[in-house]
Structure 1
Amino acid sequence: MNMTSLVDYILSLFRSEDAARSFVAAPGQAMTNAGLINVSPAEFSSAAASALPFLDLGAGDPIGGVQQAVADQHGLALASDGGGLSSGLLPRMPEPS
């Protein structure tokens, strides 16, 4: 796995809404489609820290953390199926003013 490719991919998620939608809906499939196969959580976390040093992923799932950050960046909402992530997207409701 090429770390530079993974860093570039993570950065592309914040630049391209189409890439973001695919990643938010199905991160594993989106990464496979981008040629990023068998990326470990540790590799993903390291690449995310290089690409986005300001982003605090905490001790949890690094892919889920980036998924949430990407959804927030593009105004997408993660759909929920009883607390887990699902493959659907819901439009984000406007913030009350």
Structure 2
Amino acid sequence: MKIICSKDYTGARAWEAQLIAVMQDATVRLHWTDQPYPWHVNDGDEVFAVLDGEVAMHYRENGCELVAHLRAGDIFYAAEGDAHSAHPRGQARILVIERAGSV
């Protein structure tokens, strides 16, 4: 059993992650960041839950770039192949659930 206080978690660098669990073919990680993550496309589905802070989630839909402003408690789902890029506003802590080995 694990109890994790996400507000206390800080990485040594942006997008550092604490592995919480590996379940079948998925990983659950707590990320800390204060820098944007590059545009990318996952090779599986991804659930992105903001636990602390704010994140401007840039994503592409029908050839257009859109931005969703996520706050603590908000969840972003990206299906396999969806292009997206997370831009924190200051520090943020994010729970990411994705296929093991996904970029």
Higher share of residues assigned strand:
2
TM-score interval, smaller chain: under 0.3
TM-score (norm: length of structure 2): 0.25
Higher share of residues assigned helix:
1
- Greater relative contact order: 1 or 2 (C-alpha under 8 angstroms, separation 6 or more)? 2
TM-score (norm: length of structure 1): 0.26
